[in-house]
């Protein structure tokens, strides 16, 4: 008797605890929780960073280096001549610019732009597919009620 009563109360509490979801709620939840869509969004972010990085091949490169050396005083054993303390310092700056590489850099920039556009289209297709699947399931559920 007690088991039946507890089962009845549990079922009733679940029935009254259910929420009603509209189609828009279902679509929003599906878009928020779809892993494939999240992966597609991350691919768009990655392709955008690659597109910006591909422009680095046409920019000049600057490099700088410095060096310092200090030698203490000592006596030359062969000749017996004292050598005073000495310091040496050096520095260099270089600038390099790729002038022509057979059009490789332009092809690389165009390729990265195309990959970015492809990832944007893939993300849109994933979003549309998710919404379509939710609508089909939602209306199929309504049809079965």
Question: How does pLDDT run across 111-132, given as a tens digit for each residue?
Answer: 999 999 999 999 999 999 999 9
pLDDT at 17: 53
Do 88 and 77 contact (CB within 8 A), yes or no? no
Q: What is the pLDDT of residues 19-49, one digit of tens each?
A: 888 999 999 999 999 999 999 999 999 999 9
Single out the residue of 40, 43, 63 nearest to residue 51, CA to CA.
43
Q: What is the pLDDT of residues 5-18, one digit of tens each?
A: 344 444 444 555 57
Helix/strand/coil for 102:
coil
Average pLDDT, stretch 59-74? 86
CA dihedral of 106, 112, 114, 115, whole degrees rounded to 10: 160
Provide CB contacts within 8 A for 75, sequence distance 6+: 81, 82, 83
Q: Which of 5-9, 30-34, 63-67, 137-141 has the lowest mean pLDDT?
A: 5-9
pLDDT class for 56, splitting at 50, 70, 90?
confident
User: pTM of whole model > 0.85?
Assistant: no
pLDDT at 96: 92
Single out the residue of 94, 98, 95, 113 nearest to residue 57, CA to CA.
98
């Amino acid at each position: 008797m007690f088991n039946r009563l507890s089962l009845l109360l549990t079922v009733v509490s679940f029935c009254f605890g259910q929420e009603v979801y509209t189609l828009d709620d279902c679509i929003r939840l599906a878009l928020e929780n779809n892993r494939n869509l999240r992966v597609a969004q991350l691919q768009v972010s990655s392709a955008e960073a690659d597109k910006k990085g591909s422009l680095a091949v046409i920019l000049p490169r600057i490099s700088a280096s410095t060096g310092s050396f200090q030698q203490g005083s000592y006596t030359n054993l062969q000749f017996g001549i004292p050598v005073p303390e000495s310091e040496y310092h050096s520095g260099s700056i270089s600038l390099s610019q790729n002038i022509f590489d057979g059009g490789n850099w332009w092809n690389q920039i165009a390729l990265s732009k195309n990959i970015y556009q492809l990832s944007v289209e893939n993300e849109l297709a994933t979003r549309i597919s998710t919404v379509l699947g939710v609508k089909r399931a939602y209306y199929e559920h309504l049809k079965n009620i």
